[in-house]
Structure 1
Amino acid sequence: MTNFIATQTAGEPMGIFNMVWPFLLMFAVFYFFLIRPQQKKQKQRTSMLNQIKKGDKITTIGGLHGTVVELTDDTVVIRVNDTTKMTFERSAVNTIVSSAPTAASE
């Protein structure tokens, strides 16, 4: 019986590892299923916001549709109809519905 106790105390460092590995496994699962996809989605959104140009048809987060008339680093001015222009933060753009033709394709 004393041999069993001696081997158990000698294996204490493995006991700590056995307690920690489930937490490491949970962190890996969270990283690959939650954190990493969210970072990828954020990177795509930032890229989309940087690619907005005049003439693009966009939809805002609030559901407003319009055409980009003016751009600054932080704001977007869109034309909703022939007479109405509205200013939004660039981050309020949800999607680019259709992109304006570039000068090279004209």
Structure 2
Amino acid sequence: MQNLILAAQAQGAGGNMSFIIIMVAIFAIMWFFMIRPQQKKQKAIRNFQNSLKEGSNIVTGGGVYGTVKRIDLEKNLVEIEVAHGVVIRVDKSYVFNDASSMQAVQNK
């Protein structure tokens, strides 16, 4: 019994370093497969929101398809025509994607 305790204590001294290496490896894997792709996606969405112009076909965060009619940069609002004569105002940060590229993907 004492031999097992002594063996466990001997392993414990070097085990701290392997634990740290494993934790660093887990963090690196999480960063490469989870955090980094999400940051790239957020950057692409921000670039799309900053490049909005009148007449663009867009999709909002709620799934509403429409055409940009006016952009108010001071209030950070976008006016979207969702049907003939029906215009809604949404926050610019809720505009996520180009509707024409979404429809091209769905038609394939």
Which range, TM-score by smaller chain? 0.7 to 0.9
> What is the CA deviation profile of residues 17-71 of structure 1, one whole-angstrom value per residue up to 9, with x for unaligned ones?
2221111111111111111111111111111111110010112122222111110
Counterpart CA distance in 2 for 1:88 and 1:68 is 10
Q: In the alignment, is the contact (CA less than 8 A) between 2:48 and 2:96 conserved in 1?
A: no
Determine the C-alpha separation between the residues in 2 that align with 1:19 and 1:56.
Answer: 52
Aligned to 1:64: 64
Work out which of the two has the higher radius of gyration on C-alpha atoms and give 1 or 2.
1
RMSD: 2.5
More helix by share: 2
Is 1:41 paired with 2:36?
no
Paired amino acid for 1:88: V
Q: Match of 1:20, SS? A: helix
By how many angstroms is 1:98 displaced?
Answer: 3.6
User: What CA distance in whole angstroms lies between the structure 2 residues aligned with 1:82 and 1:19?
Assistant: 63
Question: Within 5 Å, which residues of 2 pair with 1:90-101?
Answer: 90-98=92-100
Match of 2:52 in 1: 52
What is the TM-score with the length of structure 1 in the denominator? 0.73
Q: How many aligned residue pairs are there? A: 92
Structure 2 gap ranges (5+): 1-9, 102-108
Q: Which runs of 5+ in 1 are unaligned?
A: 1-7, 100-106
Cα contact 1:52–1:96 (8 A) shared by 2: no
Q: Does 1:80 align with 2:82?
A: yes
Q: Could you list the structure 1 runs, at least 4 aligned residues long, displaced by more than 3 angstroms after superposition.
A: none
With structure 2 as the length reference, what TM-score do the two structures score? 0.72
How many angstroms apart in 2 are the aligned matches of 1:58 and 1:31?
31
14-23 vs 71-80, which moves further: 14-23
CA distance in 2, matches of 1:54, 1:18: 57
